[in-house]
Structure 1
Amino acid sequence: MPTEILMPALSPTMEEGTLAKWLVKEGDTVSSGDLIAEIETDKATMEFEAVDEGVVGKILVAEGSEGVKVNTPIAVLLEDGESADDIQSSAANGTPAPAAEPAKDAAAAKSEAPKDDAPKAEAKAAPAAPQGADGSRIFASPLARRIAADKGLDLAQITGSGPKGRIVKADVIDAKPQAAAAPKAEAAGASPAAAAAAPAGPSADQVARMYEGRDYEEVKLDGMRKTIAARLTEAKQQVPHFYLRRDIQLDALLKFRGELNKQLEARGVKLSVNDFIIKACALALQSVPDANAVWAGDRVLKMKASDVAVAVAIEGGLFTPVLQDSDSKSLSALSAEMKDLAARARDRKLAPHEYQGGSFAISNLGMFGIENFDAVINPPHGAILAVGAGVKKPVVGKDGELAVATVMSVTLSVDHRVIDGALGAELLNAIKDNLENPMVMLA
């Protein structure tokens, strides 16, 4: 029977994307693993591989289409012996209905079929092919999908008895409904009432009416900006932030960095202050392991390695590429990896695994002259360090004498569900100690 090709979820957070380009056309034969399309996510353009083999019978979504929801049918594959005539259009949603059921399902199918004097467009379409928790497709007949939808069944919990484990009518007809999935707000610890009570801002039309008669340019939001808006709004509404601030003296680090760069010049290596900050945070997470953690809805995950994300500004948004195992890498290795990730981030060439994950993030605006600021946590991270510029300031030395030092102000934004105040203070103190005693980081 014809097989629907669904819009893939190319990252755990992807809900929709742009079908940028088809790499095949109707009538082409494809095999599993063949590249068939280019999909633009909120972060990057990625190639999409075929999972099944067959002939492209019909392309349902034209290239260049924006806002295509994940799991929406985008094309139909035909198996050997099938033709385009086997694809039945569904007027309900404009997508094809798979081929008719085998004879053993005919009686049940008949009761759901439209009457002879009713338009065929009124036929009830089968729900889209579902996916398992790992993103793999769950194979089920159209009738089984309809029965499951009517009974509120989760097909991921049902074992199919058909060919190659395919779920058929007999598997779902006597199955009992599963408990309904908790709403997203409840999974995050919020009550339904609290979620419903969340205030909504003015609509786009209402805002536009406020500025009638004024000249302005309307900028259309791309996928990245929409995602940033949604995630940061969610973060500020659902993550209980608290903030810890310290001043860090950089003179010893700047002197040490200068000496190292002279010795590394022959190798073409030039360390930045940011490289030292990454290393200092990574080692601090190892010194305070309880703070190396992320929020996972109903539990906290304590990470073993220090995977540190670093915010990289690009045109129209930002990436947070993750440097895995930062605690065990040398400063020169971190520097080279950070330069590579930043360059590919600006070209939007990062793969999802390169900007997802991590337990801790760094946002450095010091190069723009910003002395201090508060950063928003990027869930599920437990904390983010906002780094300001190093500025010459008067300081009081240990002997009570006034001196001038290069001082960098930092603010640690902390998720109170993951890290309590004293633990956050211990982490920030460890970061400060590492930066003010940079040779310790090489021990």
Structure 2
Amino acid sequence: MPIPILMPALSPTMETGNLVKWHVAEGDEVAAGDVIAEIETDKATMEVEAVDEGIIGKILVPAGTNGVSVNSQIALLLEEDEDKSVISESGAPEISAAGEVSEPPAPPPDSPPVAPDPIPAISETAENSNAAPEKANRIFVSPLARRIAAEKGLDLSQIKGSGPHGRIVKADVEHAQPASSPAIEAPPAMAPSDIAALYAPGSFTEEPLNSMRATIARRLTEAKRDVPHYYLSIDCRL
């Protein structure tokens, strides 16, 4: 009679595991202590050894299957005097696996490189024409008046200078009043269609959680949900 190979409990808290890789194939001979598979638990990926000697008659759970329950059959081991027809006659038992075979995400199609737009040449005439408005918009202000304006939060472009050639001096900024800042409007709310466009198929890559990350998420949820919480606060005068 075929010997069932079960999903082992590799940690005290393990309920399910992911069958990452098979090191043997159907028809291979194994001895006790040979590594036959790699199992991913909620803490690490560990190797599974054969406990009996024989021939791998049938692999019931393919590599890459997630959420295989502990103590469920993952393969059948034939003894030396048994034939593979024994498995077909007795029928393969059902597998208690909660997950499906995980497939790596398909890589996005390679897009052809886009040539950068040519940078237009800037003529000397254009440079001179741009320099003229900059000189016209220059604000003449004394260093002391500039420092006082910065301390009071004044906009120098809104102050009319009384010094030579319209230069802003100390007296101008001392008598100036800071302009009232305009009210900041809240940005408009995004429409549901705009939010859905951010998660359109193909615009992101979904990475499945491994067993360790899934366990961390489950434990954090249980700690917040099941453990009573209370919060303390204190006011400090600095």
TM-score (norm 1): 0.27
Greater strand share, 1 or 2? 1
Task: Report which structure shows greater RCO (CA 8 Å, sep ≥6).
Answer: 2
TM-score (norm 2): 0.48
Greater helix share, 1 or 2? 1
User: Larger Cα Rg: Structure 1 or Structure 2?
Assistant: 2
